[in-house]
Amino acid sequence: MTAKKAPAPVNPMEEFLRMDRIPHIWCPGCGIGTVVTSFVEGVRKEKINLDDIAIVSGIGCTGRVAGYVKFDSFHTTHGRAMAFATGLKLGNPRQKVVVFSGDGDLTGIGGNHFIHAARRNMDMTVICINNFNYAMTGGQVAPTSPPDSKMSTAPTGNFEPAFSLPYLAEASGATYIARWTALHIRRVTKSIQEALNHKGFSFVEVITPCPTLYARRNRLGDGLDLMKYYYDSSEIRHGHDTRDTEIDFQGKIICGKFVDKKKPTFLDAMNTHFTKTFGDKYQPYGVDND
Amino acid sequence: MVKADPKGVMTGSWFLDGDYALAEGALAAGCRFFAGYPITPSTETAERFAARIPKVGGCFIQMEDEIASIAALIGGVWGGQKAMTVTSGPGFSLMMENIGLACMMETPMVIANVQRAGPSTGLPTLVAQQDMMQVRWGSHGDYRIIALAPDSPQECFDMTIEAFNLSETYRVPVFIMTDEIVGHMHEKLVVPPAEEIDLVERKWYTGPKDKYLPYKNDKDGIPFMVRSGDGYRFHTTGLTHDERGYPLLNAEQQKITVGHLIDKIDGNADKIISLEEKEIKGAEVVVLSYGITSRVAVKAVQDAKKAGIKVGTLRLRTVWPFPEKRVAELSRKVKAIVVPEINAGQMVREVERSVAGRCRVTSVPHFGGWVHDPKDILKAIKEAAK
């Protein structure tokens, strides 16, 4: 008799990934994968029903997240993930809608949709992977590129000012805002857990290395070097004024949970308003429409 | 087919404009999600929807621009709703990229374009029919859509219901190509009782969850749809994709995907196309028109008949897919086809292509701002009859 073979070990991630699409396209040393791992870990820890989560992505390296995670997942057009997600949430308010977006997708081409979704306090979670450049297209300068960083369309250095995303999010009306670097694995996970439980517009920015383009062009070593550098350059200051969260080239990165407040969501405000206006004749939308 | 939900149906006789009639048609068709951005001469539809929806049940959102409106619409449909938006030229241009996404994801939805004269800001906001080619070709790549052209507020109502039914049947965006005059024209509108309105339900998938393939065609060539949140954990993308909805980026899959988007409309063109023909039998000349121009042409046709010319009319209720077979048939029987339209000559190109030299084709262009003087159409008919 031969001993019974032990079942092949299963990676705990497999339940959450479309394994038939792995390997993924991301470069070795890229931070997107670690953020996806943190996200999955956050969902697992919160014991959220996997059927209740919808992932929306736009275009770019981060845009590919929607293709690898095993949830209802939508890979949409460049910059429009926020607007698509707004419609998806209103179409079926029971779902937890999560947008995975890169910095260029979210705040360059998609900037208008980002600020308006925040303004409305749309009940959704936005995870922004900020690698300071348009990586999918070859490392072009982005609205987040630190001043003086060298990019393929700023070969002698970037002379434009950069967005500070926590400040932009807060000014626009976001009600949960946190920032970490890709190596703050446990803290990213915890913030994603909080964001998923937050009622309203929650925003988690993760500073990640782009080894192939940003790091190479600026001679910053490989992905791990830069991941470690970002981690070492971070300063955790919870509740810090978002006006002071700018990131200089290879400068200090202020991290932490900056904003966590309550405000009516778009649907709450709509239902409250119409109930006040029409009384019992109004059937609140998205509350029991299942 | 199912019957309309009486909650959305404003049964009775009304005196309403075409823009309002679009909103009433949408509500009667079960549309409960509207995302839009204000642009004259289409705003009344959004206003009507915003005013009516709290009492009917559903959601209206005014988005930050037309790009956001169409993107939100696609999201709303995947969230399980029937959805509509309305716009005019400049907004229509902004929607183009995501119209391609809607086609690629095979998302049923209705988009009305209350046309005004361009290019650019053009003549805000006087009539035109200048987006007839844009609706067909405006987004990049090869794809097919369905477009209808109403000529009255009553038809705005009726065609919106037809548009929803066609969009659900073929899982494609359907366009209502109306114009400023039909949009702002007040006429009698009869809204039938809900039980007289037949609606096509979404093609819901009901099989085992783990067997669902979002882009596997059913026997009728159209894939089944599910709602986000119902546990299928499916994927959809604007990339060329296989039956699972997974990206597959090669020429073989491209042939299958694009071929399917084309075939499902072209292959069903006979079922989709709706025409209104009058006095075609024995006619020497046929006036082919659509939308508001077909009503202006009535006067020219009456005068031509008085002058002893045998003239018939063909009105395109469906503009796209173009009725090329029917126009080809006519070209074998008539001397000429006269095509008045409020543009520099757009649909006339399709007529010429279908006629292929078998009869004369006369374009009667008008650059917009007002309708044709019927005398110009009459002159063209007389010339054509010679």
pLDDT in tens, B60-109: 999 999 999 999 999 999 999 999 999 999 999 999 999 999 999 999 99
* Cα Rg, chain B, nearest whole Å: 21
Query: Do A69 and A265 form a contact (C-beta atoms < 8 A)?
Result: no
Residues 6+ apart with CB under 8 A from B47: none
Q: Which residues of A touch B63 (CB under 8 A)?
A: 83, 86, 116
pLDDT at A290 over 50: no
**Residue-level pLDDT at A1:** 55
Domain extents in chain B: 2-199, 274-385
Distance from CA of B247 to the nearest CA of A (A): 8
Q: Under DSSP, is residue B323 helix (H, G, I), strand (E, B) or coil? A: coil
Closest CA to A104 of A133, A83, A81: A133
Closest CB to A73: pick one of B57, B67, B235: B235
B229 touches chain A (CB under 8 A): yes
Mutate to test the interface with B, among A77, A78, A270 (most CBs of B within 10 A): A77
| CB-based contact B77 A91, cutoff 8 Å | yes
Helices B374-385 and B292-306, interaxial angle, to 10°?
A: 50
Q: Under DSSP, is residue B185 helix (H, G, I), strand (E, B) or coil? A: coil
Query: Do B336 and B360 form a contact (C-beta atoms < 8 A)?
Result: yes
| CB-based contact A73 B61, cutoff 8 Å | no
Residue of chain A minimizing CA distance to B236: A74
| CB-based contact A289 B57, cutoff 8 Å | yes
Mutate to test the interface with A, among B5, B53, B64 (most CBs of A within 10 A): B64
Q: Which residues of A touch B83 (CB under 8 A)?
A: 87, 91
| CB-based contact B59 A90, cutoff 8 Å | yes
Mutate to test the interface with A, among B202, B228, B240, B241 (most CBs of A within 10 A): B228
CATH number of B2-199: 3.40.50.970
Closest CA to B361 of B287, B291, B279, B282: B287
**Residue-level pLDDT at A6:** 81
Tell me how far apart the alpha carbons of residues B181 and A269 are, in angstroms, rounded to a whole number.
37
Tell me how far apart the alpha carbons of residues B135 and B147 are, in angstroms, rounded to a whole number.
8
Tell me how far apart the alpha carbons of residues B353 and B334 are, in angstroms, rounded to a whole number.
16
B5 touches chain A (CB under 8 A): no
Query: Do B241 and B252 form a contact (C-beta atoms < 8 A)?
Result: no
| CB-based contact B75 A56, cutoff 8 Å | yes
Q: What is the dihedral of CA B239, B246, A64, B73, to 10 degrees?
A: 60
Tell me how far apart the alpha carbons of residues B320 and B327 are, in angstroms, rounded to a whole number.
13
Same fold, B2-199 and B274-385: yes
Residue of chain B minimizing CA distance to A72: B233
pLDDT at A264 over 80: yes
| CB-based contact A91 B33, cutoff 8 Å | yes
Q: Under DSSP, is residue B85 helix (H, G, I), strand (E, B) or coil? A: strand
Q: Under DSSP, is residue B129 helix (H, G, I), strand (E, B) or coil? A: coil
pTM for the full model? 0.97
Distance from CA of B361 to the nearest CA of A (A): 41
Residues 6+ apart with CB under 8 A from A1: none
| 10-residue averages of pLDDT along chain B (386 residues) | 97 98 98 98 98 97 98 98 98 98 98 98 96 98 98 98 98 98 98 98 95 97 97 98 97 98 98 98 97 98 98 98 98 98 98 98 98 98 96
| CB-based contact A86 B246, cutoff 8 Å | no
End-to-end CA distance of chain A: 56
Q: Under DSSP, is residue B32 helix (H, G, I), strand (E, B) or coil? A: coil
Tell me how far apart the alpha carbons of residues A157 and A249 are, in angstroms, rounded to a whole number.
11
Residues 6+ apart with CB under 8 A from A253: A179, A181, A207, A230, A233, A234, A235, A247
Tell me how far apart the alpha carbons of residues B153 and B181 are, in angstroms, rounded to a whole number.
10
Mutate to test the interface with B, among A15, A56, A88 (most CBs of B within 10 A): A88
Residue of chain A minimizing CA distance to B79: A91
Residue A42 tokens, joined: 């956050």
Tell me how far apart the alpha carbons of residues B373 and B300 are, in angstroms, rounded to a whole number.
9
Give Cα B109 distance to the centre of its chain. Answer: 11
Distance from CA of B31 to the nearest CA of A (A): 11
- Considering chain A, what percentage of its residues have pLDDT values greater than 70? 98
Q: Which residues of B280-297 are buried (b: 16+ CB within 10 A; e: fewer)?
A: beebbbbbbbbbbbbbbb
B101 touches chain A (CB under 8 A): yes
Closest CB to A54: pick one of B33, B83, B229: B229
Sign of the Cα torsion A205, A211, A214, A219 reads positive
B68 touches chain A (CB under 8 A): yes
Query: Do B96 and B143 form a contact (C-beta atoms < 8 A)?
Result: no
B227 touches chain A (CB under 8 A): yes
Residue of chain B minimizing CA distance to A67: B235
Give CB contacts under 8 A, 24+ apart, made by B369-372. Answer: B369/B117, B369/B123, B369/B126, B369/B127, B369/B128, B370/B126, B370/B127, B371/B127, B371/B181, B371/B292, B371/B293, B371/B296, B371/B342, B372/B293, B372/B296, B372/B297, B372/B340, B372/B342
Q: What is the 3-state secondary structure (H, E, C) of chain A?
A: CCCCCCCCCCCCCHHHECHHHCCCCCCCCCCHHHHHHHHHHHHHHHCCCHHHEEEEECCCCHHHHHHHECCEEEECCCCCHHHHHHHHHHHCCCCEEEEEEEHHHHHHHCHHHHHHHHHCCCCEEEEEEECCEECCCCCEECCCCCCCCCECCECCCCCCCCCCHHHHHHHHCCCEEEEEECCCHHHHHHHHHHHHHCCCEEEEEEECCCHHHHHHHCCCCCHHHHHHHHHHCEEECCCCCHHHCCCCCCCCEEEEEEEECCCCCHHHHHHHHHHHHHHHHCCCCCCCCC
Q: What is the pLDDT of residues A64-115, one digit of tens each?
A: 999 999 999 999 999 999 999 999 999 999 999 999 999 999 999 999 999 9
Q: Which residues of A touch B97 (CB under 8 A)?
A: 77
ipTM of the complex: 0.97
* Cα Rg, chain A, nearest whole Å: 20
- Indicate the pLDDT class of residue A8, thresholds 50, 70 and 90: confident
Architecture of domain B274-385: 3-Layer(aba) Sandwich (3.40)
Q: What is the pLDDT of residues B295-345, one digit of tens each?
A: 999 999 999 999 999 999 999 999 999 999 999 999 999 999 999 999 999
Query: Do B79 and B144 form a contact (C-beta atoms < 8 A)?
Result: no
Closest CB to B76: pick one of A88, A270, A282: A88
Superfamily covering domain A30-278: Thiamin diphosphate (ThDP)-binding fold, Pyr/PP domains (3.40.50.970)
Q: Which residues of B touch A108 (CB under 8 A)?
A: none
B236 touches chain A (CB under 8 A): yes
Q: Which residues of B touch A82 (CB under 8 A)?
A: 68
Q: Could you identify the residue written with the tokens 């997942």?
A: A73
Q: Under DSSP, is residue B65 helix (H, G, I), strand (E, B) or coil? A: coil
Closest CB to A66: pick one of B65, B79, B235: B235
Closest CB to B231: pick one of A51, A90, A278: A51
B210 touches chain A (CB under 8 A): no
Q: What are phi and psi of A265, to 5 degrees?
A: -75, 175
Q: Which residues of B touch A172 (CB under 8 A)?
A: none
Residues 6+ apart with CB under 8 A from A104: A60, A133, A134, A142, A143, A144
Closest CA to B38 of B88, B93, B98: B88
How many residues in chain A?
290
Distance from CA of B381 to the nearest CA of A (A): 48
Residue of chain B minimizing CA distance to A52: B229
Distance from CA of B212 to the nearest CA of A (A): 12
Helices B347-355 and B324-331, interaxial angle, to 10°?
A: 60
Tell me how far apart the alpha carbons of residues A43 and A24 are, in angstroms, rounded to a whole number.
21
B209 touches chain A (CB under 8 A): no
pLDDT at A2 over 70: no
Tell me how far apart the alpha carbons of residues B303 and B305 are, in angstroms, rounded to a whole number.
5
Q: Which residues of A touch B246 (CB under 8 A)?
A: 18, 20-21, 67
DSSP one-letter string for B223-234? B-B--TTSS---
Q: What are phi and psi of B168, to 5 degrees?
A: -70, -35
Residues 6+ apart with CB under 8 A from B333: B283
Closest CA to A214 of A206, A204, A222, A203: A222
Largest CA distance in chain B: 70
Tell me how far apart the alpha carbons of residues A274 and B92 are, in angstroms, rounded to a whole number.
31
| CB-based contact B228 A51, cutoff 8 Å | no
Closest CB to B54: pick one of A50, A92, A274: A274
Tell me how far apart the alpha carbons of residues B155 and A5 are, in angstroms, rounded to a whole number.
71
Tell me how far apart the alpha carbons of residues A109 and B234 are, in angstroms, rounded to a whole number.
27
Residue of chain B minimizing CA distance to A281: B55
Distance from CA of A98 to the nearest CA of B (A): 13
Residue A214 tokens, joined: 């940003």
